[in-house]
Amino acid sequence: MDPSISIKNLKLSFGAVEVLHDLNLDIGKGEFLVLLGSSGCGKSTLLNCIAGLLDVTDGQIHIGGQNVTWEEPSKRGIGMVFQSYALYPQMTVEGNLAFGLKNAKIPKPEIKERIARAAKTLQMEPLLKRKPAALSGGQRQRVAIGRALVRDVDVFLFDEPLSNLDAKLRADLRVEIKQLHQTLGNTMIYVTHDQIEAMTLADRIAIMRGGSILQLDTPKEIYNRPATKYVAEFIGSPTMNFLDGRIEGGAAPRFTSDVASFDLAGYEFTPQGPQAGDAWFGIRPEHIIVGPEAAHSPFQLEGQVELVEPLGSDTLARVTSGGQRLWVRMDGQADITPGQTLPLGLTPALANIFDKTTEARL
């Protein structure tokens, strides 16, 4: 299948500072790609380059098979939704949707029809005559999505669209965006710093840091096999636990730390295979088995409970074992108290091991 968008050797510099480093990225037709990273990682900058709002320093951008590197944003076949909604405040919702179309000299009946269609899709027919000031944050963002929708384009770009909304609305609108994607089947690129949005919405996630893409993969792969320690830490809450230690041995590699030493049978190494040296043994809180079942795990530890955080659905606990701190996730009904000693079970197959110097997954 031809990619809907491809980015080839894209570089962007502001003066002497290179903010995007030689990016290559292909996005399939109908794919939902999320650009994820903390602020300043270049994700919004990349989106602005794709939209044509920033001039690239080198490389090419292709959308729908066309080389659009020098094209104006309005000619790229994209619609864009912004964090601040960027609605035109003195026009009604209808006026907002129609303004760009009128300007493109699209005949009136067609404008009407497109607005009606968009309003129906987004269930905002009653809002059409209102001005943005009379709308709630969620409604405004829906109008902003509508403005992208009426452009009848194949590619939607979202620049942190939900960041200005409160938590409840954010969750609701997230679902709506996912629904919209399933209904329309457009290509969507979505920038966010929120890992939950990324995990729930994306077909693939591109995790960015310092102007480069660290890992581009499905949410599942990224969660289960993070390419670097940074990715592992970024995704998942509470973050992955890291045991400080070293890898030993060639044929039957072992991980040794102050707490324990165990062989890594069942662990899937990267094609390069195991390398001896200092390493982090990373394991997610929910992969640490707590209580009597720990006995069935390949390796056991003992940990003392320091702190308990009951969340209702889950219970989180911070335990120490031989000077190393670990977060564990348990059932919401678990009945534990600080000071208590718990048996913990580790399964190397579920873990991720990172080289201490390169921070890459082994």
**How far apart are CB 107 and another protein at their closest, in Å?**
16
Range in contact with another protein (rule: CB under 8 A) among 70-78, 133-141, 234-242, 323-331: 70-78
Among 4, 32, 37, 79, binds another protein (CB under 8 A): 79
Contact between 48 and 61 (Cβ < 8 Å): no
Residue 50 φ/ψ, nearest 5 degrees: -60, -40
Region of residue 266 (left: phi > 0; alpha: psi -120 to 50; beta: else): left
Which H or E run contains 148? helix 137-149
DSSP string, 26-84: EEETT-EEEEE-STTSSHHHHHHHHHTSS--SEEEEEETTEE-TTS-GGGSSEEEE-TT
- The residue (of 23 and 289) whose beta carbon lies closer to another protein is 23
Instruction: State how far the Cα of 189 lies from the Cα of 157, in Å rounded to an integer.
Output: 5
Identified binder of another protein from the candidate list 39, 72, 273, 313, rule CB under 8 A: 72
Q: Which is nearer to another protein, 18 or 244 (CB)?
A: 18
Min CB(26)–another protein separation in Å: 9
- Give the one residue of 29, 99, 225, 244 binding another protein; rule: CB under 8 A: 99
Answer yes or no whether residue 82 interacts with another protein by CB under 8 A. Answer: yes
166 counts as binding another protein under rule CB under 8 A: no
Query: Using CA atoms, how far apart are residues 348 and 26, in angstroms rounded to an integer?
Result: 34
Using CB under 8 A, which residues numbered 132 to 151 contact another protein?
147, 151
Q: CB of 24: closest distance to another protein in angstroms?
A: 6
Which of 49-57, 131-139, 270-278, 345-353 is the region at the interface with another protein (rule: CB under 8 A)? 49-57
Q: CB–CB of 115/147 below 8 Å?
A: no
**Which among 86-94, 116-124, 270-278, 334-342 is the span making contact with another protein, rule CB under 8 A?**
86-94
Please give the sequence-ordered ranges of beta strands (E in DSSP) within 128-240, or none if there are none: 155-159, 187-192, 204-209, 212-217
Q: What is the dihedral of CA 205, 209, 210, 214, to 10 degrees?
A: -70
Strand partners, 212: 209
Tell which residue, 84, 79, 55, 83, has the closest CA to residue 68. 55
Site size toward another protein (CB under 8 A) is 40
**Which listed range, 53-61, 310-318, 334-342, 350-358, lies at the site for another protein (CB under 8 A)?**
53-61
57 is a contact residue toward another protein (CB under 8 A):
yes
* Closer residue to another protein in complex, CB, 60/256: 60
The minimum distance between CB 90 and another protein, in angstroms, equals: 4
Piece of the chain touching another protein by CB under 8 A; list 27-35, 62-70, 124-132, 225-233:
62-70
Q: Please name every residue paired with 187 in a beta bridge, in sequence order, or none if there are none.
A: 155
Does 51 help bind another protein (rule: CB under 8 A)? Answer: yes
* Residues that bind another protein in the complex, under the rule CB under 8 A: 8-9, 22, 24, 48, 51-53, 55-60, 67, 69-70, 72-75, 78-80, 82-90, 99-100, 103-104, 147, 151, 159
